[in-house]
Structure 1
Amino acid sequence: MRQGRARTVRHPRHVAIIMDGNGRWARARGLPRSMGHRRGVEAVRAAVRAAGELGIEYLTLFAFSSENWRRPKDEIEELLGLLKHFIRRDLADLHKEGVRVRVIGGRDDLSADIRSLLEEAENLTRDNSRQTLVIAFNYGARDEVARAVKRIAEKFAAGEVTLDALTADYLGEHMDTAGIPDPDLIIRTSGELRLSNFLLWQAAYSEFVFMPCLWPDFDRQSFEDAIAEYASRDRRFGGLSREIAS
């Protein structure tokens, strides 16, 4: 059994997770991929619960990539069904616990029932303030930037904004994550060492922790281990390290 670290750790305000490895988890056990996704949903519930207990204010989960539409139709239907089930089953509890749900990603091409479900989750929990759960659904970072630039270009064409106003901060205000602090820590499971088009703009100064465990095996101890690793880092944001500065 892994031993937790006893020392007090510095907690990140915002943790984002790339939940990877459901399919490999299932394949290693001779199970269909659908079983891996279902166990992955259980890991989502555990992660949301652990984040709240650990005092994480913002938790962002990469639930469905805009590239995932390329997967087999039956797997897409399974993933969409699990999303619907998660929201319908867990939304009331999240609301009761004071969790605000925020969804990022493109919505124009989504079916009406999915769009309605996402809006219901956001509207019901809009005034909650204990914790924010950000669900990245039909999300791709490059698409997010393109949509933000398009919105700004429309404002510029209408004479609502000048060139002088087109700063990095102004662009950030048009991202899906406007009003949400950038992630302090980004965790990826399954041992893969890449961002996979996730929060490219927001990750400029994030710390990365890549974990070998597959997502269905990610538990409270895994979360604590990632936070402990984060706490050991010297975040400089382009400045000097604490040792050099002192």
Structure 2
Amino acid sequence: MYPVAGGRRAGIVPVHVAIIMDGNGRWAASRGLPLLAGHRAGAEAVQRCIRAAVAAGVKWLTLYAFSSENWRRTPQEVADLTSLLRYYLRYKVAELAAKGVRIRIIGDLSRFAPDVRAEARRAEMETASNTVLTVVLALSYGGRADIVQAALRMAKAIDAGTLAASQVDEDTFGGFLMTADMPDPDIVVRTSGESRLSNFLLWQSAYAELIFIETLWPDFDAGHFDAVLQIYSRRERRFGARPV
């Protein structure tokens, strides 16, 4: 059951959809398959999701691909996730580029192996001029860490005299975040029935519409993406103001 409020805004397409892709493990377990099979199926769902975003006219799609907390998982699972990431960065970026998709990376890439970092940067460079859809991969990303690094960078700018403390406001602070040149998400979706943000885009999601669905991520397809957009079209976004 999805919460719906306000009148329908027919034809409204969000600029930025962000997704917490959850449920790979449960999907695999329910089928008696190894965990890696769930992650592989989840990677296929990513491709379906990107195609659906392009078809819908969404301009930004941010995917929580690997959180800063995911490093706490077993060494085998981390290795499997990293191998999948390496494969898709190396062999699937060309397909996305042909569709006009630009790749952006946010997060702490320093924790990945040098070849993964190199593939990530190559993907960004080779797709930098594309304009149909920007896919932002959040890799080794944490919302709290993002806020902390922004505060540290801003403090250094103040110490260096390039920024006055009196100039600091929300817009100034936002300019130090990893997402500085991105629009805030209009929607944050989480699959698998869980109802929490799990340290994802905490600052940026202040006024996002939150949509939680029961579908496990490997089962997510264009129909689910369209359903999310339909829910969004019925939400009344007030940004703190009272309805007119």
Q: Which TM-score applies when normalising by structure 1?
A: 0.93
Deviations 1:208-234 (A, max 9, x none): 110001000111111111110111011
Query: Aligned pair 1:222/2:218, yes or no?
Result: no
* Paired position in structure 2 for 1:145: 147
Deviations 1:87-146 (A, max 9, x none): 122111111111111100112333211211111011111111111100000000000111
* Paired position in structure 2 for 1:238: 240
* Paired position in structure 1 for 2:92: 90
Query: Aligned pair 1:156/2:158, yes or no?
Result: yes
* Paired position in structure 2 for 1:125: 127
* Paired position in structure 1 for 2:13: 11
Query: Are the counterparts in 2 of residues 12 and 227 from structure 1 also a CA contact under 8 Å?
Result: yes
Match for 2:209 among 197, 207, 210? 207
Q: Between Structure 1 and Structure 2, how many residues are aligned?
A: 236
Superposition misfits of 4+ residues, deviation over 4 angstroms: none
Query: Are the counterparts in 1 of residues 68 and 142 from structure 2 also a CA contact under 8 Å?
Result: yes
1:190 is aligned with what amino acid? S
Residue 8 of structure 1 and its aligned partner are, at CA, apart by 4.5
* Paired position in structure 2 for 1:103: 105
Which of 1 and 2 has higher RCO (CA within 8 Å, sep 6+)?
2
Deviations 1:188-213 (A, max 9, x none): 00000000000000001000110001
Query: Aligned pair 1:188/2:190, yes or no?
Result: yes
Work out the percentage of aligned pairs sharing the same amino acid: 47
* Paired position in structure 2 for 1:67: 69
Residue 77 of structure 1 and its aligned partner are, at CA, apart by 0.5
Residue 158 of structure 1 and its aligned partner are, at CA, apart by 1.4
CA distance in 2, matches of 1:107, 1:162: 30
Query: Are the counterparts in 1 of residues 27 and 218 from structure 2 also a CA contact under 8 Å?
Result: yes
Query: Are the counterparts in 2 of residues 22 and 215 from structure 1 also a CA contact under 8 Å?
Result: yes
Query: Are the counterparts in 1 of residues 60 and 136 from structure 2 also a CA contact under 8 Å?
Result: yes
Q: Which TM-score applies when normalising by structure 2?
A: 0.94
Consecutive unaligned residues in structure 2, runs of 5 or more:
1-8
CA distance in 1, matches of 2:66, 2:111: 14
* Paired position in structure 1 for 2:52: 50
The RMSD of aligned alpha carbons is: 1.1
CA distance in 1, matches of 2:95, 2:180: 26
Consecutive unaligned residues in structure 1, runs of 5 or more:
1-6
In structure 1, the residue corresponding to 2:110 is in which secondary structure? coil
Query: Are the counterparts in 1 of residues 111 and 140 from structure 2 also a CA contact under 8 Å?
Result: no
